[in-house]
Amino acid sequence: MTKKLSSFKGYIYLLLFLSGAIFTACTQGQSRNTGNSNYTKDYSKTKVFGEMVAELTAPPHVPPPVGNRPAMKLYMEMEITEEEMEMADGVSYLFWTFGGTVPGSFIRARVGDEVEFKIKNHPDNKLPHNIDLHAVTGQGGGAEASFVAPGHEKTFSFKLINPGLYVYHCATAPVGMHIANGMYGLILVEPEGGLPPVDKEFYVMQGDFYTEGRFGEPGLQPFDMQKAYDERPDYVVFNGSVNALSGENALQAKAGETIRIFFGNGGPNLASSFHVIGEIFDKVYVDGGDQVNSNVGTTLVPAGGAAILEFKADVPSNLVLVDHSIFRAFNKGALGILSVTGKENEKIFAGEIMEGIYLPEGSTIQKMPKDGNVVSPPVTMTKSELIDTGKKIYMQACFACHQANGEGVANAFPPLANADYLNADVNRSIDVLLHGLSGEITVNGKKYNSIMPSQQLKDEEVAAVLTYVYNSWGNNGTEVTPDMVNKRRKK
């Protein structure tokens, strides 16, 4: 009897132990698996079927979706180049690039893929480089295995075991300098079965740049290490330059289409408060992972981080992509356009339904402070000299509101490009720069109601900047002289 009781107790203890172990395993699995059914799956053991050469694309383009294909062996090849390219109109910079672009080529794969990655350092380059892929589990994200001198190439391999959107960057010392010169990009690791289909996908990355010259100062601008230390960028831009996503480079979509933006922040220093003026993100894959937030206006993306943003372009408009740390957008270049065309939908947006004047910054026209660094042109100039000087002044004083291509910002700042208001009366244009403007005006059939501060410019400077504007973007070619400005000033 005693022996049977002892056996029974042992059986009970065993059941209790197993129950506890199962409970613990389940609760641990739940805590690790919040909102993510794939988190605990071990993709390191996923078998591959076949092989293919991966397509890498330059921004803002992305390769075709992975879809429902099985895991495969992927061959990737990327060349590092050091080359001078445009930062803004009249401003160039020596970028260090992955694949010849900033950001670098977009990489698209799926979880479980085995990658054989060849990285080549062009013989004309001056420095060694490497690549650290945040999607890679291993020493330095591949940085140590990929360290390559100019004129050499390296091949290394890895398996993608975590789905998500990840940044990659150069990790050669000084790491910050290599990133600050443009060496970053995105790698997307799609989950099993792929991402849900959308109509359009775009690749956008933000970066902060540090130059010896101030914003808009012309010529080849060297990197400024002290500004980088102090985190004082002269440029904060999307896709490597001020004009990368505006004018002829604006992103294109149609009303009713679903949009997915793969957004990354190369840094090296600043976080991004990414916002699309005129739309709301239906879904935000936070940090590029599995957690999804809905109905988001602005999302925070840290340096070295990424997010997947989805929304439907409901109505035609020029959607404005900005870093909502807003001086970066209008004064340092973090601004782009997604041009949505198509049929109006008044149930969603009916446009203007009343008229009025709203002056949030006071009822009087303000004056812009005098900037001691504004270009001071000589008194006597040819038309060509006026245009050249006027372009420099424009990039210092006018770019923030009217954009580098003169298109303005929808519903905020009127266009200067092919502008009927501008071309109709040159004296009125001179008066606006001298004395400012407030109240409603109509430009190219659209109404604007804001304040244009008076510009504290010399006669020669007013003449130069207006001559540049009149001789750009389809305007009528008028030459404005200092004498014309002086006569209007005396009235």
Q: Is the pLDDT of residue 438 over 80?
A: no
What pLDDT score does 395 carry?
A: 78
pLDDT at 17 over 50: no
The strand pair at 219-220 and 258-267 is best described as unpaired
Residue range 168-175: average pLDDT? 97
Mean predicted confidence (pLDDT) in 354-382: 55
Q: What is the mean pLDDT of residues 267-278?
A: 97
Please identify which residue in the block is written with the tokens 């605990």. Answer: 40
The mean predicted confidence, pLDDT, of the chain is 87
**Per-residue pLDDT reduced to its tens digit, 275-291:** 999 999 999 999 999 99
How much is the pLDDT for 262? 98
Q: Which residues of 366-377 are buried (b: 16+ CB within 10 A; e: fewer)?
A: eeeeeeeebbeb
pLDDT value at residue 16: 42
Amino acid at residue number 299: T
Residue among 209, 224, 252 at smallest CA distance from 61: 252
**pLDDT computed for residue 368 by the predictor:** 52
Q: Give me the amino acid identity at 319.
A: L
Question: Residue 83: what pLDDT?
Answer: 96
Token pair in block for residue 437: 């403007």
Beta bridge partners of 168: 133, 185
| Options 1.10.760.10, 3.30.70.260, 3.30.420.40, 1.10.275.10; CATH of 383-490 | 1.10.760.10
The residue behind tokens 């690790």 is: 32
Q: Which residue type sits at 364? A: T
Q: Using the predicted structure, report yes or no on whether residue 456 has a pLDDT greater than 90.
A: no
* Token duo for residue 74: 């992927």
Question: Residue 305 has which token pair?
Answer: 């981080």
Q: What is the mean pLDDT of the segment spanning 85-110?
A: 97
* Cβ proximity of 240 and 103 under 8 Å: yes
Alpha-carbon gap, residue 204 to 190, rounded angstroms: 18
pLDDT score, position 369: 54
CATH 1.10.760.10 positions along the chain are 383-490
Task: Tell me what the mean pLDDT of segment 206-211 comes to.
Answer: 98
Task: Give ranges for CATH 2.60.40.420 in the chain.
Answer: 35-351
**Tens-digit pLDDT profile for residues 409-421:** 766 788 999 999 9
List the single range of 28-37, 90-99, 243-252, 432-441 with lowest mean pLDDT.
28-37
Q: Which pLDDT score is estimated for 347?
A: 92
The residue written with tokens 């991004």 in the block is: 272
CB burial readout 17-43, b (16+ within 10 A) else e = eeeeeeeeeeeeeeeeeeeeeeeebeb
284-313 average pLDDT score: 97
Question: What does the pLDDT read at residue 247?
Answer: 84
- 83, 210, 219, 228, 335 from 94: Cα distances, Å: 5, 12, 11, 16, 22
Cα–Cα distance measured from residue 460 to residue 361, given in angstroms and rounded to the nearest whole number: 29
Residues at the annotated binding site for Cu cation? Answer: 129, 134, 169-170, 178, 183, 324
| Residues of the binding site | 129, 134, 169-170, 178, 183, 324
Tokens of 190: 């799609």
198 has pLDDT over 50: yes
What pLDDT is attached to residue 411? 61
Q: Taking 70 as the threshold, does the pLDDT of residue 298 lie above it?
A: yes
pLDDT at 67 (0 to 100): 92
169 has a pLDDT exceeding 50 = yes
Give the pLDDT of residue 413.
Answer: 81
Residue-wise pLDDT tens digits, 55-75: 999 999 999 999 999 999 999
Output 365 or 454, whichever has higher pLDDT: 454
Q: pTM of the prediction?
A: 0.72
Q: What does the pLDDT read at residue 32? A: 33
Fold of 35-351: Immunoglobulin-like (2.60.40)
The confidence score (pLDDT) of residue 251 equals 96
